[in-house]
Amino acid sequence: MVEQASLDKAHPHQAARAFQRQSAHQRLIILGLIVLTLALAVIAINAGAANTNPMQVLRTLLGLESGTSNIVIWNIRLPRVIAGMAAGAGLAVAGCVMQTCLRNPLASPSTLGISSAAAFGANLAIVAFGAGSIHSNTRDAVFIGNPYAVTLSAFGFSMVAMMLILLLARLRGFSPESVVLAGVAFGSLFSAASTLVQYFAEDVQVAAMVFWTFGDLGRVAWQEVAILSTLVVGTFIFFLLHRWDYNALDGGEEAAKSLGVHVEQIRFRSMLVASLITAVAVSFMGIIGFIGLIAPQMMRRVLGIDHRFLIPASAVTGAALLLFSDTLARTMISPVVLPVGAITSFFGAPLFLFLLAKGYTRR
Amino acid sequence: MILTVQGVQFRYPNHPVLEDASFTVQQGELLAVLGTNGAGKTTLLKCVNRILKPTSGVVWIGDEAVSDISRNALAQRIGYVEQQRAGSRATVFNAVLLGRKPYIQWDITQNDIAIAGQALETLGLSEYALRYLDELSGGELQKVIIARALAQQPEILLMDEPTSNLDLKNQMEVLTLVRAITREQGIAAVMAMHDLNLALRFADQFLLLKDGRLFATGGPEVMTPKNIEAVYSVPVAMTAHNGYKVIIPL
């Protein structure tokens, strides 16, 4: 008989201690990632044509430096780096939560059709407000008639896509599978619509559309950086407040309900917030693929699925990945700046395949 | 706390799953819900803790209707061991810690960790604390879910075939343990199961479901060869060995 004996055995804290050790270990990993990302940020600010060194960058950031490097760093490099970190973190937490809520490892901002919808919105606005060309063959040769209208239109259409998906999901009783499939369907619908718009557009407009679609961090100034960062911080806090709900959701819908989680409500609100942050990031910067997919997937493998750690770790990893990609894009064949969206997809796809092939690391 | 189920009915738009189920479980009592596959056992359990909303009927905990209790408050009172669970990348300790989810305000406390640790210890899972669920056997997984339900410190425990994946030794150990804990802590327990002999050995009350209808309910006296044959459509004989009643299909 096991009854009495096992209820008050001698060492009840063995498992609890192991758990706490592991939690401490995971916190350390996140701290390490943060330090790494900050170092990367300094390198990113330093990288470029202005002949600075990392020490100078640090001194400038602390307000100890004056001169031309000051202007370059504060007005050009820093907004770009912060935008990269904010967008990377935002896309990564959005992907992380989408994957958990839809219980699908492939759920992410780009796979749910939100990015395609934003691109369609941008294309439409480019046709409406026009685009121009200055005769030169660098990337900056094409300019967009009214960038604000384009951004707004992109945002509007990504919200439309999000609402359509959420509405359809509501009608179908919010089965996670139906949401992913609806996202794929809307994605191809908007891509098809974009193709049609491009077919009837003028050469210069098509060029502008294509350039818009390439994600590029260079488009943002301090104002956009402020909006984006505020939203990312808000999103992050919202997700973190629900970290235990996401943990419970991992055990399945019914188990979560039996543990007191309002499953439908949490899913709906989380998807709404995740889509919103994606829509903002995409309309400011264009399509940046794979960050939302790959950053949380990497961290799931390293840290497991405890959202207390998974959410912050995904955010930091997303920030680091986008920062790294952008620095690479700026320096690889300098002075030509490649679109960062191409870099993330280029490295993201094989990295994703590698993670799939490698499977989970065994403890 | 007494669990009372009163005329609970559940139907999908064009087919009834459960008709007019009523029963009462006292504190410290274990009710075995028996019946063939698809008889409505799981549906009945899910109606009790509102995973499914009954089409009609009321479930009472003491004198409170379950439909009036918030989901979170309900989770503090009813533990649920679901039938199927896929493994995932959660660790065993995290999975058991989720039993404390209904009590978490901002974050888990030392108390929550201690209770989860105790639940693991109770089910002999301490060594597995940091294993991932998808590395466990079916039986170990079942024990994890039972530990999670115990960590909820519930007044009522609903278990859907909690021992279906366990070997003979583990079946006996787990059921003996569940029995001891429910008696000791005055938990009203409801357990859907297929093994009639285990039911006879561990349950106080029995509820026989046939095609979604309540066929018979009561103490060991309802477990007659005639009733069992009527429910399962298999002729059986009943005998006793060392004081334990045993059912043998003929």
B173/A360 CB distance under 8 A: no
What letters, b where the CB count within 10 A reaches 16 and e where it falls short, cover A339-355?
A: bbbbbbbbbbeebbeeb
Tokens standing for A99?
């994957």
Name the minimum distance, in Å, from the CA of A35 to any CA of chain B: 25
Burial label for A148, CB within 10 Å (0-12, 13-18, 19+), is: exposed
DSSP code of B8?
E
First to last CA, chain B: 40
A5 touches chain B (CB under 8 A): no
Question: CA of A10: which chain B residue's CA is closest?
Answer: B121
Using only C-alpha atoms, chain A has a radius of gyration, in whole angstroms, of 22
**What pLDDT does A8 receive?**
41
Name the minimum distance, in Å, from the CA of A82 to any CA of chain B: 29
Name the minimum distance, in Å, from the CA of A97 to any CA of chain B: 15
> Rounded to the nearest 10 degrees, how much is the dihedral formed by the CA atoms of A35, A39, A44, A45?
110
Nearest to B223 by CA among B239, B212, B211, B242: B239
B201 touches chain A (CB under 8 A): no
**What pLDDT does B209 receive?**
94
Across chain B, mean pLDDT equals: 92
Residues 6+ apart with CB under 8 A from A272: A162, A166
Map out the domains of chain B with their CATH numbers.
3-249 (3.40.50.300)
**What pLDDT does B202 receive?**
94
- Whether the model clears a pTM of 0.90, i.e. scores above it, the answer is no
Contact status, residue B21 vs residue B57, Cβ threshold 8 Å: yes
User: Would strands B15-25 and A131-133 be described as parallel, antiparallel, or unpaired?
Assistant: unpaired
B85 vs A contacts (CB less than 8 Å)? 251-252, 255
Q: How far apart are CA B105 and CA A8, in angstroms?
A: 28
**What pLDDT does A87 receive?**
94
Orientation of helix A307-331 relative to helix A78-101, angle to 10°: 140
**What pLDDT does A39 receive?**
93
Mean pLDDT of B103-126: 92
B132/A308 CB distance under 8 A: no
Nearest to B5 by CA among B156, B169, B132, B110: B156
Beta-bridged to residue B8, according to DSSP, are B21
Tokens standing for B184?
């000791």
A15/B120 CB distance under 8 A: yes
Q: How far apart are CA A226 and CA A137, in angstroms?
A: 32
Tokens standing for A158?
């990504």
Number of Cβ atoms within 10 Å of the Cβ of A16: 23
Sheet-wide strand order for B56-61: B64-65, B56-61, B3-12, B15-25, B213-218, B205-210, B30-34, B188-192, B156-160, B78-81
In tens digits, what is the pLDDT along chain A, a chain of 363 residues?
Answer: 333 333 344 455 788 888 999 999 999 999 999 999 999 998 888 887 666 777 777 877 777 777 777 777 888 888 899 999 999 999 999 999 999 988 888 788 777 888 889 889 988 888 887 665 544 444 455 666 667 788 888 888 988 888 888 787 777 666 777 778 888 888 899 999 999 998 988 888 888 888 888 888 887 888 889 999 999 999 999 999 999 999 999 888 889 999 999 988 998 899 889 988 888 888 888 888 889 989 999 999 888 899 999 999 999 999 999 999 999 988 888 778 888 888 888 888 888 788 777 765 443
Task: Say yes or no to pLDDT of B207 above 80.
Answer: yes
Task: Say yes or no to pLDDT of B143 above 80.
Answer: yes
Residues 6+ apart with CB under 8 A from A63: none
Tokens standing for A221?
């100034």
Number of Cβ atoms within 10 Å of the Cβ of B102: 25
A3/B99 CB distance under 8 A: no
Residue from the list A4, A11, A250 with its beta carbon closest to the beta carbon of B90: A250
**What pLDDT does A362 receive?**
42
**What pLDDT does A306 receive?**
94
Residue from the list A3, A14, A257 with its beta carbon closest to the beta carbon of B177: A3
Residue from the list A12, A20, A254 with its beta carbon closest to the beta carbon of B121: A12
A22/B121 CB distance under 8 A: no
- The 10s digit of each residue's pLDDT in B214-230 is 999 999 999 999 999 99
B82/A12 CB distance under 8 A: no
B176 touches chain A (CB under 8 A): yes
Q: How far apart are CA A206 and CA A236, in angstroms?
A: 36
Contact status, residue A350 vs residue A331, Cβ threshold 8 Å: no
**What pLDDT does A141 receive?**
53
Amino acid identity at A301? R
Distances (CA, A) of B24 to A210, B4, B10: 68, 4, 18
**What pLDDT does A5 receive?**
38
Q: How far apart are CA B232 and CA B210, in angstroms?
A: 8
**What pLDDT does A56 receive?**
78
Residue from the list A6, A9, A14 with its beta carbon closest to the beta carbon of B177: A6
Taking one residue from A and the other from B, the number of pairs with CB-CB distance under 8 angstroms is 137
The B residues from 57 to 116 touching A (CB cutoff 8 Å) are: 71-76, 78-80, 82, 85-86, 88-91, 93-95, 97-99, 101-102, 104, 107-108, 113-114, 116
Mean pLDDT of B60-73: 93
Question: CA of B80: which chain A residue's CA is closest?
Answer: A258
Mean pLDDT of B150-159: 95
Proportion of chain B above pLDDT 90, given as a percent:
78
Alpha helices in chain A (DSSP H): 3-7, 14-46, 54-61, 68-71, 78-101, 114-129, 147-171, 176-199, 203-213, 222-241, 243-250, 253-258, 263-285, 291-303, 307-331, 340-358
**What pLDDT does A208 receive?**
83
